[in-house]
Amino acid sequence: MLTALEHLARIGRAARPAAHLLRDVPARDRRPRSDGAWRGFVQDEKVRTAVRQLLNTSGPSA
């Protein structure tokens, strides 16, 4: 998932439909991760950062 988000952020505006679907992820209480224990927190932070980067590079959503 993290790799996909990083690639989408590189695509930029063309990734706007995907960014639109992920726009609420940073505000959710649920952690978007697959690993458990301490690795889950690290993965969660990386995913949230990647989503924020995707949202910033794709421009405003419609």
pLDDT confidence of residue 62: 47
Give the integer Cα–Cα distance in Å for 47 and 43. 6
Give the predicted TM-score (pTM) of the model: 0.74
Question: Tens digits of per-residue pLDDT, 10-58?
Answer: 888 899 998 988 888 877 777 666 667 778 788 888 888 898 889 988 8
pLDDT confidence of residue 44: 84
Give the integer Cα–Cα distance in Å for 4 and 13. 15
pLDDT confidence of residue 30: 73
- Residues 5, 54: contact at Cβ < 8 Å? yes
Dihedral (CA of 37, 41, 44, 46) sign: negative
pLDDT confidence of residue 26: 77
